[in-house]
Amino acid sequence: MSQAILQVMIHGRVQGVGYRAWLESQATASGLEGWVRNRRDGCVEALFAGAPKHVADMVALCRHGPPSSRVDSVTSETGSADELNLRRAGEAFSVLPTV
């Protein structure tokens, strides 16, 4: 089975509302690898790697987010194995520092 890697940007009220923790929980439950981090411009950035259907389902979940969030837009583009390697050693899915 092939693996999909997508880099996703989530815009809206997505910082300070538990979005990263929610996303980490959802991605882990879906068996995905990758990472999530806040960006200084107020958005959340994530990278998902795994079965294409699971990655697509995760991107769809990102459009809703946790109850306290408000998602205005979600964009995605193909990611790379090099970007996947930004996660912490030994972790399947990491919460990374803000950039």
Active site residues: 20, 38
The amino acid at residue 88 is: R
Query: 45: which 2 tokens?
Result: 């950035």
Integer Cα distance of 23 and 30 in angstroms: 11
Integer Cα distance of 64 and 20 in angstroms: 13
Map tokens 């996947």 to a residue.
84
Of 86, 88, 85, 81, nearest to 99 by C-alpha is: 86
